[in-house]
A and B are shown apart, each in its own frame.
Chain A
Amino acid sequence: MVIFSVYVVNKAGGLIYQYDNYVPRAEAEKTFSYPLDLVLKHHDEKVVVSFGQRDGIRVGHAVLSINGVDVIGKNTADGKDTLEYLKDAANYPVSIRFGRARLSSNEKLMLASMFHSLFAIGSQLSPEVGSSGIEMLETDVFKLHCFQTLTGIKFIVLADPRQSGIDALLRKIYEIYSDFALKNPFYSLEMPIRCELFDQNLKSSLEIAEKAGNFGAGS
Chain B
Amino acid sequence: MSRQSNRTTDSKKMNSELFTLTYGALVTQLCKDYENDEEVNKQLDKMGYNIGVRLIEDFLARSSIGRCQDFRETADVIAKVAFKMYLGITPSVTNWSPAGDEFSLILENNPLVDFVELPDNHSTLIYSNLLCGVLRGALEMVQMAVDVRFAQDTLRGDNVTEIRMKFIKRIEENLPAGDD
Contacts from A to B (Cβ < 8 Å): 11-12, 119-120, 122-124, 129-133, 148-153, 171, 174-175, 177-179, 182-183, 189, 201, 204
Asked whether A175 lies within 8 Å of B62 as measured between CB atoms, the reply is yes
CB neighbors of A among B46-87 (8 A): 53-54, 56-58, 60-62, 64, 66-67
Count of chain B residues with a beta carbon within 8 Å of a chain A beta carbon: 22
* Inter-subunit contact B174/A152 (CB<8 Å): yes
- Minimum CB distance partner of B68 in chain A: A150
The 17 listed contacts between A and B (C-beta, < 8 Å) are A120-B177, A122-B177, A122-B178, A129-B180, A131-B178, A132-B178, A149-B57, A149-B60, A150-B66, A151-B142, A151-B176, A152-B175, A175-B61, A175-B62, A178-B54, A179-B7, A182-B54
Complex Cα gap A49–B103 (Å):
68
In the complex, residue of chain B having the shortest beta-carbon distance to the beta carbon of A154 = B176
Given A151-B56, A178-B57, A182-B57: A130 and B177 within 8 A (CB)? Answer: no
Interface centre among B60, B174, B177 (most CB of A within 10 A): B177
Task: Decide: A178 and B4 in contact? CB cutoff 8 A.
Answer: no
> Are A150 and B60 in contact, CB atoms less than 8 angstroms apart?
yes
Q: Of A129, A178, A183, A201, which one neighbours B1 at CB under 8 angstroms?
A: A201
Q: What are the nearest 8 A-B pairs in CB distance?
A: A120-B177, A152-B176, A123-B178, A178-B57, A182-B54, A178-B58, A133-B177, A178-B61
**Do residues A175 and B176 form an inter-chain contact, with CB atoms below 8 A?**
no
**CB-based contact A177/B57 at 8 Å:** yes
Query: What's the nearest-Cβ distance from chain B to residue A103, in Å?
Result: 24
B residues apposed to A, CB below 8 Å: 1, 4, 7, 53-54, 56-58, 60-62, 64, 66-67, 141-142, 174-178, 180
Task: Please tell me which one of the listed residues B54, B57, B177 contacts residue A119 in the complex, with CB atoms under 8 A apart.
Answer: B177
Which residues of the partner chain A approach B180 to less than 8 Å between Cβ atoms? 129-130
Roughly how many angstroms separate A151 CA and B177 CA in the complex, as a whole number?
Answer: 10
- Partner pick for A171 among B53, B61, B178, CB 8 A cutoff: B61
Q: A174-B61, A179-B58 are in contact. List 17 more A-B contacts (CB 8 A).
A: A12-B174, A120-B178, A122-B178, A129-B180, A133-B177, A148-B177, A148-B178, A149-B57, A149-B61, A150-B60, A152-B174, A152-B176, A171-B61, A178-B60, A178-B62, A201-B1, A204-B4
Give the docked Cα–Cα distance between A149 and B174 (Å).
Answer: 13
* A217 to B34 CA separation, bound complex (whole angstroms): 55
How distant is the Cα of A149 from the Cα of B4 in the complex, in angstroms? Answer: 21
Q: Which of A11, A120, A151 has the most CB of B within 10 A?
A: A151
